[in-house]
Chain A
Amino acid sequence: MKNLKSFLTVVGLTIALGASAQSQESMRINEYLIINTNDFQDDFGQQSSWFELFNSSYGTVDLSGCFITDDPDNLKKYRIPSGDIATKIKPRQHVLFWADNQPFRGTFHVNFDLENAKEIILLKGDGKTIIDRIPVRHDLPANVSFGRTADGEGSIDGSFKGWDILKSTSPSTNNLLVNKAGKAEAMQEMDPYGWIMAVTSMSVVFLALIILYLIFKNIGKANVKAANKKSSATKASSDSSAGQQCYSEVPAETYAAIATALHLFIEDNEAHDEESDVVTQRHTDRTYSPWSSKIYTLRQTPQVNKRN
């Protein structure tokens, strides 16, 4: 029992850690600025180099326990402290770190600065798995930032794919043009009368339902074929059976007469109250549809078996 509990705890922790680690993998180094003389100020009124992380996922990511470093030979240089609620980054949101080498100023002040850094590396809580890395470009002019042209998109292997010098710095906000028109506004511009939307959407609705039509047409055909095959096989086997003869063509009046007689018998003798106390269960394979058959609402067709 003890072993089982330990096992379950270990499994639970592994799953929880795995899930947490997996979401941390959505974090991206998104933008950095090295020489800050006339840009963003921290809460202490100081201008230092900074870098921004971006949660590219649609779930909240807890950064606590992750490592950030500027030195590939010292991957555990700065551990993001646990217990700070501000390390929980909401979906598609940014977080800004000050690279001022003054970690005592709070969670978001790291113990290195970018002026002497080779690259910025973000690691998972194990201190080994690299989530994202980007070399630090020392050729950038003062107050000019280098970042992903679209938030969270581009390389994570240290190449500059998807990165560029940004027209203006955007700490803690989108790197893409902020006043980009929303989907609805873009649609209004492109399609002021709604005809493009109507044609596109109707085509998709038709496409989806035509594919369903084709699929179920063929499934239906195959099914009917299989059913016909099965029924002819059953017929052949019942014809050859010598022990039992099935009279399926019993007139409906006979059923009605039997049912009435049984009903009257039960009514007269109040037989319903005398139960046999025996419950039986029998599997019935209902292959008919209630749309095409009344079988669901009727009693099962009685069969007359002739004993030898």
Chain B
Amino acid sequence: MENIITNLKQFWGYTGFANFELNYLIMIVIGCVFIYLAIKKDWEPMLLVPIGFGILIGNIPLFAGLNVGVYEEGSVLNILYQGVKQGFYPPLIFLGIGAMTDFSALIANPKLFLIGAAAQFGIFGAYAVSLALGFDPAQAGAIGIIGGADGPTAIFLSSRLAPNLMGAIAVSAYSYMALVPVIQPPIMRLLTTKKERLIRMKPPRAVSPTEKRLFPVIGFLLTAFIVPSGIPLLGMLFFGNLLKESGVTRRLANTASGPLIDIVTILIGVTVGASTQASEFLRVESVKIFIIGAFSFFLATFAGVFFVKILNLFLKEGNKINPLIGNAGVSAVPDAARVSNNVGLEYDPKNYLLMHAMGPNVAGVIGSAVAAGMLLGFLG
């Protein structure tokens, strides 16, 4: 009998209850909030459900040596986490994004490239603020990329520049991406007049298959020659797009844009979530990162919308761009474009801006990958 009691006591020591601390509870609540937002509010469910559940997985109190934690070398979670740590999940996601993205809106109206470039101010503004808040340049670069509103890019860059901050950066990036419909509209309304919001843009011209096939090849060669450090992201993005547009690799494109990206999204979401162990995540730095992340989204949106207003000064009547698509320069595809469309419809129920906004939106993906390459080149 005594042995049984001793055994039970020993077993109690193994349980999560015995190792419980308040920090774990806070993280579990955060994970549950993510899951709630995804299911009830439909905010980026594909990301927030895996990340939210990953947070639950990563915050079960463990005793040392069980070899199941995400940071314990050789554990299953640790092996899956290598894709994040070594940075090979993000390029695979970019392959899928390339294979599912139609760049026609951008090719039809190449002016929209410039909006995608302008919105990258968010990244470098956040970089400067991070430096001012005491982060070192490599950490500041990793935090700044949150302003690109691109989760895979944020993970890729932080795995290279600041691996110890990756959890906070990834969760911050994905959280704000999910909050794009909340963050952006007030800034868009603040910066635009009613007249500007009613601008109707010319329908884009038809884009030939040849142009679509040329785009990934020329786009890759040019951007990779300018920023070779961005090759993993740019290469996979444009390669995926070529698979889609070549017309002869439909099966490969379908795999890249379907099962492959789904598998990698599941793995990246769960492992990033699991990497937010309370001991690693609940720090003053994480709070700072969340504040800087919010600032970078504001700045990126501001820069995109404001840039369109400036651009309009140089465009003839009839060719003007509705500034409501300026917010889409951040690369949260397609949410930012959807926000442009919804805000536009509030003021003119027949003014559908979605296809116009997709132009800066996909340009933003290219722009943020180039910006990430720059940061990696200077700080890596």
Contact = CB atoms under 8 A, between A and B. Distances in A.
B205 A209 contact: no
Interface string B88-120: 000000000000001011111011011011101
B171 interface: no
B138 A184 contact: yes
Contact of B367 (A198, A209, A217, A219): A209
Contacts of A209: 113-114, 116-117, 363, 366-367, 370
Interface stretch (A143-151, A286-294, A298-306): A286-294
Contact of A292 (B111, B116, B206, B379): B206
Given A223-B211, A291-B358, A198 B219 contact: no
Contacts of B203: 292
Interface string B336-380: 000000000000000000010010000100110011001100111
B104 A291 contact: yes
A209 B222 CA distance: 9
B74 interface: no
A202 B367 CA distance: 10
A191 B102 CA distance: 39
Contact of A220 (B118, B121, B140, B205): B205
Contacts of B123: 201
Given A184-B137, A197-B124, A220-B107, A212 B218 contact: yes
Contact of B211 (A194, A200, A220): A220
B223 interface: yes
A134 to B, nearest CB: 31
B320 to A, nearest CB: 17
The size bracket of the interface on B is: 35 or more
Contact of B137 (A188, A212, A287): A188
A213 B363 CA distance: 10
Interface of B: 102, 104-108, 110-111, 113-114, 116-118, 120-121, 123-125, 127-128, 130-132, 136-138, 140-141, 161, 203-211, 214-215, 218-219, 222-223, 226-227, 355, 358, 363, 366-367, 370-371, 374-375, 378-380
Contacts of B120: 201-202, 205
A289 B204 contact: yes
Contacts of B136: 184-185, 188
Contacts of B131: 188, 192-194
Interface in A262-308: 286-293
A7 interface: no
Contacts of A224: 205
Interface secondary structure of A, over-half rule? helix
Contact of A291 (B116, B355, B366): B355
A259 B18 CA distance: 70
Interface string A199-229: 0111011111111111111011001100100
Contact of B124 (A188, A202, A290): A202
21 contacts: A187-B378, A191-B137, A193-B128, A197-B128, A201-B124, A204-B226, A205-B117, A205-B367, A208-B226, A208-B227, A209-B366, A211-B222, A212-B219, A212-B223, A216-B110, A216-B218, A220-B211, A223-B211, A289-B108, A292-B104, A292-B203
Contacts of A287: 206, 208-209
B124 A216 contact: no
Contacts of B375: 197, 201
Nearest to A226: B208
A119 B271 CA distance: 56
A180 interface: no
Contacts of A214: 110
B137 A204 contact: no
A223 B131 CA distance: 47
Given A202-B124, A292-B205, A212 B108 contact: no
